[in-house]
Homo-oligomer: A and B are copies of this chain.
Amino acid sequence: MAHVSIIGTGTMGQAIAGLAGKGGHAVQLLGRNDQDKVAGDIVVLAVPYPEVQQVLAERGDQLAGKTVVDITNPLNFETFDSLVVPADSSAAAGIAAALPDSKVLKAFNTNFAATLSSGKVGDGATTVLIAGDDADAKAELAGVITGGGLRAVDAGALSRARELEAIGFVQLTLAVGEKVDWTGGFTLN
């Protein structure tokens, strides 16, 4: 049984908490400004990308030795026309550099919150893509995801987070442009 801590109580944080709870895992849902110590072995950073830096500054020491899951889509939310991370890198790579003693994974950034709760992307099934360099950490997170009734697919090394962020970027622009619904998006068949 995994112990999952989620930092951030927005729609994504709530949906991931619900997913972990479905599988019977212990879940700690922390507000960004909560003072409680992170208890879980898997810690999901469910805050918007601009707030990640503050979370790392405040809690970085608590994250050592843990699996840390980056779910962000680091878009320029003014233009919706670019990412704010370097073209040859990713938000996840930046977080991994800031947390050298954690096992950083990228996951959930290609899933809209509603699809995590419903298990459906339109009329298809929800698949969560995971990238990371630690096979055990990926397998443990995949177990939490499948335990909650969703499909998990290993998308490769953490370097693949760059491409997962590109997928999340396109999906967000399509939703904002009303070409897909927030209950839909990309899925993998």
- List the interface of chain A (C-beta within 8 A of B): 81, 86-88, 121-124, 129, 153-157, 159-160, 162-164, 166-167, 169-170, 173-174, 177, 179-180, 184-189
Contact = CB atoms under 8 A, between A and B. Distances in A.
Contacts of A189: 121-124, 180, 184-187
Given A180-B189, A184-B188, A188-B185, A167 B163 contact: yes
Number of copies: 2
Contacts of A86: 87
Given A121-B189, A162-B166, A163-B167, 5 more contacts: A87-B88, A156-B173, A166-B167, A186-B188, A186-B189
10 contacts: A81-B157, A121-B189, A124-B189, A155-B170, A156-B177, A167-B186, A180-B188, A185-B188, A185-B189, A187-B187
A163 B122 CA distance: 22
Contacts of A88: 87-88
Nearest to A88: B87
